[in-house]
Chains A and B, each alone.
Chain A
């Protein structure tokens, strides 16, 4: 999978978006966009072409899970790879995300290696 795809980072904490953006840059991604909640992310996804969504769970007004469901319900967006990055690591959360169609799930706190491995498991070997 090419590192040339556009990645959307969704998190209500600007600091967290900055951390993930930096890690993605170090992995080699160059096209990175950000959104502060699910609603903003959905608008960006519908307006442009993204090859990967990395989203937090706890956001208002639209949570990461709601965003995932909206993406999967949208004919044009439903195939977009979606990784949840969240501190919500209770079994029911993971199962709910999986049932909604999440491609992978990263528990905070995480390291750069975990992020890279999960992205590769979703997109294939990066290069």
Chain B
């Protein structure tokens, strides 16, 4: 392997002078200069391009940006923790998701009860129509037709029930996910003060806020019980555990029925529903 040596300025000048003294030497130097210029220009273009694509970042400002981003991220994480904790406070009665689920359950029961009452009424009208049939067949026919319309209109309860069941199932799913998140984040013992900032934002401050929660749910007392209380019969109720709630349930709603579990639909299955005529076309 040949040794690499360095030239002094004098040595370089001597060699250059020697080359300049002959035509071939001068030709060599001209060609060498041209080659060097070409390489330098290529190098220059490459550097300019690189500079354009990757502008040099000031190291200090880079760190500053990174630090600010991390601070914002940390702040978002803290806020998310508070939001999640606010969704499921320690007191189950204040759980908003559970409360919403109970409200929907109550709607289901109320509509089912109302539908049953309507159907009972329809059947009573039908029996009247049957009694009229011999002497007034035309009137009986009209009553039959009206009763049929009432009955078919009552099928809304089944449809709304199914839709609401899906909403209830979705809420329950969200509740499970929130609970899982709380466990993952270790939020079981979040301080009340920490939550109050979040809860305070959503709190209904209207004077009649408590009245806006709709009809009483299970466990609340009904009008009869209120009347009895006002009439001074409260003492009688103290003899048993929560008798008002028990009366309220038995008097205001039919026997509670479990909500049937519906199919879990994949996002792909969320296609637009068809009308009856579109369905008929599939059978033609």
Contact = CB atoms under 8 A, between A and B. Distances in A.
Contact of B148 (A13, A26, A58, A94): A26
Nearest to B122: A22
A18 B157 CA distance: 12
B123 interface: yes
Given A13-B161, A26-B144, A98-B282, A19 B273 contact: no
A107 B283 contact: no
A16 B276 CA distance: 18
Chain B, interface residues (CB within 8 Å), range: 35 or more
A58 B263 CA distance: 7
Nearest to A65: B263
A48 interface: no
**Which label, helix, strand, loop or mixed, suits the secondary structure of the A interface?**
mixed
Contacts of A26: 144, 148
B261 interface: yes
B158 A108 contact: yes
Chain A, interface residues (CB within 8 Å), range: 20 to 34
Interface stretch (B90-98, B112-120, B198-206, B226-234): B112-120
Interface string B241-284: 00000000000000000001111000001011111100100110
A13 B158 contact: yes
A82 interface: no
B149 A111 contact: yes
A60 interface: yes
B151 interface: yes
B155 A107 contact: no
A119 interface: no
B155 A110 contact: yes
A49 interface: no
Interface of B: 112, 115-116, 119, 122-123, 126, 144, 148-149, 151-159, 161-162, 260-263, 269, 271-276, 279, 282-283
10 closest pairs, A vs B, by CB?
A89-B273, A16-B158, A90-B271, A89-B274, A112-B148, A107-B276, A109-B155, A111-B152, A13-B158, A87-B159
